[in-house]
C-alpha cells in the first residue's frame, strides 16, 4: 500500500503525459521505436531519503535530460516481503532496456533474474552480484554491471577531519570536548565500511579509538526513525561528543536537530546535507558532508553505455580518485574549518588517491 | 559494569526515559480504553502516524503548532470512530479492519506529503515547529529532579497524567462503569439500559485521541517534522503494554514506562562497548519475558481474574 500512493501518482502523471503526446496510437513500445534506451530504476524502499536513493535518481535524471535516456522509476516500499515479487514484475515487464537497482539486498534478486532475461542489461549499485555463478546467476551475470563504492575512503576523511577539529579545538563552543560519535543504521558491511574507515582516519590524525562512540539505530526502521536517531545523538552529545556523524538515512535528521539544540556539530552523509536541510540552526551544525556520489556513478555508466564501454559481467569499485566519494568544501566549510586543517585534509585525500595510504575495509 | 550503573543513575538517562516513554504511555492508554470498551484497537500505529503527519502539515501551513496538534488528534479520533463504525455497523473483524487502517495510514500519509510537498521522504522541508516545553518556576533548582523534569515537552506531562485520568475515568465516573460493562458483556449492559454503541463509539474516539497525542508528540515534540512510517512499530509495542499491564490503568502505565526505560537503556548502553545486536534486542526480549510472566500470573490466578472481552 505504502508504495502505491506515490506510485499511483507517477502512473497517473505518466498516463497524462502519454495522453498529452497526442495519441500516436503507440503503447509502451512507442518509446523503443523512438530509439531511446530505457532505464528502469527499481527502488527497494522509497525516494525522498535525501541521500542514497535520491542521489541515484538525480544521476539517472541527469542521464535522461543530457544523454537522452528514458527513465522510469518503480518504488517497492519498505516492506521487504514485497521486494522479490516487485523485482520479478519489474524484470518481466518489457518496458526497459536497463534495470538499475541498488543495495546489498537486491543482489540475490538480480542474480536470479539476470539469466532469465539475457537480452536485458542490469546495473547494480552499492553492491555486487555473485559473478562466480555459485548462488544464482547461472550465466555468470554476464549482463550485469555492478558498481561499488569505497565508502571507507570517505569515512577515513571524516575521521581524519573529526580528530583534527577536536584536537585543535577548532569547533566553537565544543573546544573542551575530545570525543566524536558515529551513528549507523544497522550493522551491515556497507555501514561498517564507513565506520572502519572513520576509525582509521581518526587514528591516523592522532586520535584514540576509545574516543569514537559508535551506535546503531536498529529496530523496525533503522533508516527511517528520526526520533531514535535524535535520542542516540542526544546521548552521544551528553557523553561528551563534540561532533556526531549519522550514517543512517532519514534517522540522521534527528541528529541535526539534536546538534542544533546542544550547540554541537555534525557531518552529513551521501548527499550535501547542508543544502538539503532548511532550518538555519541545523544547517550551521553541518561542518561538511561526506559524499557518496551514487548519482555520478550511474551517470557515468549511462555515458559509458552510449559508447558500449560498460563492463558487463564485472564489478567496478569507485572511490576518491574517481570522484565517486569525497567531501564538501564550500564557504560554510571554510568558515568553520581553519586553513591548516583544510590543507591537512586535502593532503590526506591526496595520499588516499595516490595509493600511498590504504584505508582498511569492512569487506 | 560501573559505567553502566553511572549511566542508569544519571539524570540524563531519567530524562530520556520520560521522553522515550511518552508515545508508549499515551498510545497504551488509548489501546487500554478501546480494549476495555470491547473493541481491540490494532490501528494505534496508523492513528499515531496519521496524527503525526497531519500535525506537522497543518502546523507547517497554518503557522500554529496548537492548530497542528488539534488537527492531528482530530484525525486520529476520526480513525477511531471509523474503526468503531466498521466493527459495529458493518460487523467487520476489528483486527482485520485495524490492519487495513494501518495500511491506509502508511500509504495515505506518504501520498499526502508527496502531493503537498513533492517530497517522498517527509516534511523536513516544512517548518512546523514543536509544541512548547513546560517550565515550572522553582523546579529547575531542585537537584536531579530539576534536571530530569526541566525542558520536557507539554505532551510528556500529558502522557504522565493520562494514567491517573484513565484510572479516574474507569473507576470514578459513570461513563467508566458503562464502558467496562459494555466491554465485559454488551448484552447485559444493554439489558439495563446502557447505550452500548454510543459508549463504544465514545471509547474508540477517546482511544484515537490518546494515540493521536502520541503521534503528535513524535512529529511535533520529539522531532519537528514528519518522516514516512516514523512510528516504527511504537503502536504495536504500546499494544503489548496494554496486555502486559493486565488491562488496568496503573499496570499498563508501568508496562509502557518499562518499555520506555528499556529503549532508553538500549540507547545509553549503545555508546558503551556492548554488542549492538544485543543492545537492540533489549526492548523485545523484555516484552517476551514480560508477556510470559503475565501468562504465568494469569494462569496461577485463574482465567476469571482478568477476562478481556475483546472482539
Total domain count, chain B: 1
Residue B23 lies inside a defined structural domain of this protein: yes
Chain Cα centroid distance, residue B258: 14
**Are the C-beta atoms of B260 and B21 separated by less than 8 Å?**
yes
Chain Cα centroid distance, residue A245: 15
Inter-CA distances, A259 with A182, A263, A266, Å: 13, 6, 7
Domain that includes residue B271, residue range: 2-128+154-299
Does A213 touch chain B if contact means CB atoms closer than 8 Å? yes
Contact A6 B16 (CB under 8 A): no
Q: Provide the phi-psi class of B130: left if phi over 0, else alpha when psi is between -120 and 50, else beta.
A: beta
- First CA to last CA across chain B, in angstroms? 47
Distance (Å) from the alpha carbon of A308 to chain B's nearest alpha carbon: 34
Residue B45 lies inside a defined structural domain of this protein: yes
A209 Cβ contact list (under 8 Å, min separation 6) = A199, A202, A203
A258 Cβ contact list (under 8 Å, min separation 6) = A230, A233, A234, A237, A244, A264
pLDDT tens-digit readout, B105-138:
999 999 999 999 988 888 887 888 889 888 777 7
Which of B108, B232, B259, B284 is most worth mutating to test chain A (most A CB atoms within 10 A of its CB)?
A: B232
Closest alpha carbon to B166 in B21, B18, B27: B27
Note if the pTM is more than 0.90. Answer: no
Copy the grid coordinates of residue A214. 559508535
CB burial of A183-214 (b: ≥16 within 10 Å; e: otherwise) equals bbbbbeebbbbbbbbbbbbbbbbebeeebbbb
ipTM given for this complex: 0.86
Residue B193 lies inside a defined structural domain of this protein: yes
Which of A3, A4, A5 is most worth mutating to test chain B (most B CB atoms within 10 A of its CB)?
A: A5
Helix (H) or strand (E) holding A269: strand A265-270
Nearest residue, CB atoms, B228 vs list A54, A224, A279: A224
A35 Cβ contact list (under 8 Å, min separation 6) = none
Which of A73, A216, A222, A225 is most worth mutating to test chain B (most B CB atoms within 10 A of its CB)?
A: A225
Does A2 touch chain B if contact means CB atoms closer than 8 Å? yes
Does A58 touch chain B if contact means CB atoms closer than 8 Å? no
Closest alpha carbon to B56 in B232, B205, B235, B222: B222
Residue B295 lies inside a defined structural domain of this protein: yes
Residue B249 lies inside a defined structural domain of this protein: yes
Instruction: Sort out which chain A residues have CB atoms less than 8 A from B133's CB and list them.
Output: none
Residue B242 lies inside a defined structural domain of this protein: yes
Does B11 touch chain A if contact means CB atoms closer than 8 Å? no
pLDDT tens-digit readout, B93-109:
999 999 999 999 999 99
Q: What is the CATH number of the domain that holds B21?
A: 1.10.3470
DSSP label of A207: -
Closest alpha carbon to B259 in B282, B227, B232: B282
CA dist., res. B220 & res. B176, Å (int): 31
Contact A219 B108 (CB under 8 A): no
pLDDT of residue B142: 80
Parts of chain B with a pLDDT under 70 = 1-3, 271, 276, 302-311
Does B107 touch chain A if contact means CB atoms closer than 8 Å? yes
Same topology, domains A4-149+295-320 and A151-292+329-354? Answer is yes
- 143-162 in chain A: CB under 8 A from chain B: none
Instruction: Sort out which chain A residues have CB atoms less than 8 A from B277's CB and list them.
Output: 187, 218
Nearest residue, CB atoms, A253 vs list B124, B218, B268: B124
CA dist., res. B110 & res. A79, Å (int): 14
Nearest residue, CB atoms, A48 vs list B106, B121, B268: B121
Residue B188 lies inside a defined structural domain of this protein: yes
Closest alpha carbon to B277 in A226, A79, A219, A221: A219
Inter-CA distances, A107 with A69, A133, A137, A223, Å: 24, 12, 10, 20
Radius of gyration of chain A measured on its C-alpha atoms: 21
Q: Is A183 helix (H, G, I), strand (E, B) or coil?
A: strand
Q: Where are the domains of chain A?
A: 4-149+295-320, 151-292+329-354
The CATH code of domain A151-292+329-354 reads 3.40.50.2300
Give me the tens of pLDDT residue by residue for chain A, a chain 363 residues long: 344 444 444 444 433 333 333 333 333 444 445 678 999 999 998 888 878 898 899 999 999 999 999 999 999 987 888 999 999 999 999 899 999 999 888 999 999 999 999 999 999 999 999 888 776 778 888 999 999 999 999 999 999 999 999 999 999 999 999 999 999 998 888 999 999 999 999 999 999 999 999 999 988 888 889 999 999 999 999 989 999 999 998 899 999 999 999 999 999 998 888 988 888 999 999 999 999 989 999 999 999 999 988 999 999 999 998 888 999 999 999 999 999 999 999 999 999 999 999 999 988
Q: What is the 3-state secondary structure (H, E, C) of A88-118?
A: HHHHHCCCCCEEEEECHHHHHHHHHHHHHCC
Does B129 touch chain A if contact means CB atoms closer than 8 Å? no
DSSP label of B221: I
CATH C-level class of A4-149+295-320 = alpha beta
Q: What angle do CA A197, A322, A102 make, to 5 degrees?
A: 70
pLDDT of residue A28: 41
Instruction: Sort out which chain A residues have CB atoms less than 8 A from B233's CB and list them.
Output: 219-221
φ and ψ of B220, to 5 deg: -130, 20
Distance (Å) from the alpha carbon of A251 to chain B's nearest alpha carbon: 9
Which of B56, B229, B259, B277 is most worth mutating to test chain A (most A CB atoms within 10 A of its CB)?
A: B229
**Are the C-beta atoms of A164 and A344 separated by less than 8 Å?**
yes
CA dist., res. A169 & res. B252, Å (int): 48
Amino acid at each position: 500500500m505504502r508504495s502505491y500512493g506515490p506510485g499511483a501518482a507517477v502512473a497517473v502523471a505518466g498516463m497524462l503525459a502519454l495522453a498529452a503526446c497526442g495519441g500516436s496510437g503507440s503503447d509502451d513500445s512507442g518509446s523503443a521505436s523512438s530509439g531511446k534506451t530505457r532505464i528502469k530504476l527499481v527502488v527497494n524502499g522509497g525516494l525522498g531519503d535525501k541521500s542514497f536513493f535520491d542521489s541515484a535518481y538525480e544521476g539517472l535524471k541527469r542521464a535522461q535530460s543530457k544523454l537522452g535516456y528514458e527513465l522510469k522509476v518503480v518504488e517497492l516500499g519498505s516492506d521487504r516481503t514485497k521486494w522479490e515479487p516487485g523485482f520479478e514484475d519489474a524484470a518481466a515487464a518489457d518496458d526497459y532496456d536497463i534495470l538499475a537497482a541498488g543495495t546489498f539486498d537486491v543482489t540475490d534478486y538480480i542474480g536470479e533474474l539476470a539469466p532469465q532475461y539475457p537480452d536485458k542489461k542490469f546495473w547494480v549499485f552499492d553492491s555486487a552480484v555473485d559473478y562466480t555463478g555459485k548462488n544464482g546467476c547461472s550465466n555468470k551475470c554476464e549482463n550485469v554491471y555492478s558498481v561499488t563504492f569505497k565508502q571507507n575512503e570517505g569515512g577515513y576523511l571524516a575521521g581524519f577531519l573529526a580528530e583534527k577539529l577536536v584536537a585543535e579545538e577548532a569547533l566553537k563552543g565544543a573546544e573542551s570536548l575530545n570525543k566524536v560519535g558515529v551513528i549507523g543504521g544497522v550493522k551491515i558491511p556497507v555501514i561498517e565500511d564507513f565506520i572502519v574507515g572513520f576509525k582509521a582516519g581518526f587514528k591516523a590524525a592522532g586520535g584514540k579509538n576509545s574516543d569514537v562512540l559508535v551506535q546503531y539505530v536498529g529496530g523496525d526502521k533503522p533508516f527511517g526513525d528520526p526520533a531514535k536517531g535524535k535520542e542516540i545523538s542526544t546521548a552521544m552529545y551528553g557523553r561528551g561528543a563534540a561532533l556526531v556523524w549519522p550514517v543512517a538515512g532519514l534517522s540522521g535528521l534527528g541528529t541535526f536537530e539534536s546538534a542544533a539544540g546542544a550547540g554541537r556539530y555534525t557531518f552529513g552523509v551521501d548527499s550535501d546535507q547542508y543544502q538539503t536541510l532548511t532550518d538555519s540552526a541545523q544547517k550551521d551544525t553541518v561542518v561538511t558532508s561526506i559524499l557518496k556520489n551514487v548519482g555520478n556513478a550511474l551517470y557515468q555508466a549511462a555515458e559509458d553505455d552510449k559508447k558500449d564501454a560498460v563492463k558487463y559481467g564485472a564489478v567496478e569499485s569507485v572511490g576518491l580518485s574517481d570522484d565517486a566519494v569525497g567531501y564538501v568544501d564550500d564557504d560554510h566549510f571554510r568558515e568553520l574549518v581553519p586553513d591548516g586543517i583544510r590543507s591537512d585534509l586535502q593532503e590526506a585525500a591526496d595520499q588516499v588517491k595516490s595509493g600511498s595510504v590504504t584505508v582498511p575495509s569492512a569487506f | 559494569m560501573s559505567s553502566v550503573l553511572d549511566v542508569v543513575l544519571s539524570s540524563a538517562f531519567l530524562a530520556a526515559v520520560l521522553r522515550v516513554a511518552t508515545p508508549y504511555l499515551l498510545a497504551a492508554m488509548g489501546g487500554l480504553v478501546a480494549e476495555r470498551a470491547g473493541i481491540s484497537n490494532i490501528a494505534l500505529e496508523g492513528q499515531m502516524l496519521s496524527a503525526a503527519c497531519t500535525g506537522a502539515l497543518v502546523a507547517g501551513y497554518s503557522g500554529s503548532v496548537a492548530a497542528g496538534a488539534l488537527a492531528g488528534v482530530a484525525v486520529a479520533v476520526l480513525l477511531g470512530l471509523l474503526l468503531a463504525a466498521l466493527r459495529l455497523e458493518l460487523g467487520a473483524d476489528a483486527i482485520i479492519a485495524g490492519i487495513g487502517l494501518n495500511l491506509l495510514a502508511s500509504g495515505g500519509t506518504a501520498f499526502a506529503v508527496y502531493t503537498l510537498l513533492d517530497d517522498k521522504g517527509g516534511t523536513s522541508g516544512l517548518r512546523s515547529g514543536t509544541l512548547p516545553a513546560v517550565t515550572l518556576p522553582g523546579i529547575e533548582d531542585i537537584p536531579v529532579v530539576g534536571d530530569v523534569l526541566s525542558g520536557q515537552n507539554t505532551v510528556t506531562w500529558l502522557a504522565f497524567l493520562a494514567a491517573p485520568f484513565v484510572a479516574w475515568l474507569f473507576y470514578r465516573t459513570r461513563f467508566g462503569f458503562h464502558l467496562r460493562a459494555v466491554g465485559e458483556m454488551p448484552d447485559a449492559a444493554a439489558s439495563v439500559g446502557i447505550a452500548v454503541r454510543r459508549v463504544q463509539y465514545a471509547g474508540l474516539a477517546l482511544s484515537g485521541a490518546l494515540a493521536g497525542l502520541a503521534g503528535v508528540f513524535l512529529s511535533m515534540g520529539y522531532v519537528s517534522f514528519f518522516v514516512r512510517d516514523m512510528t516504527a512499530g511504537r503502536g504495536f509495542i504500546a499494544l503489548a503494554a496494554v496486555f502486559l499491564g493486565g488491562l488496568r490503568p496503573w499496570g499498563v502505565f508501568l508496562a509502557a514506562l518499562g518499555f520506555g526505560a528499556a529503549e532508553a537503556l538500549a540507547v545509553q548502553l549503545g555508546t558503551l562497548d556492548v554488542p549492538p545486536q544485543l543492545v537492540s534486542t533489549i526492548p523485545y526480549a523484555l516484552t517476551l519475558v514480560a508477556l510470559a510472566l503475565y501468562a504465568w500470573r494469569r494462569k496461577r490466578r485463574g482465567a476469571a481474574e482478568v477476562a478481556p472481552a475483546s472482539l
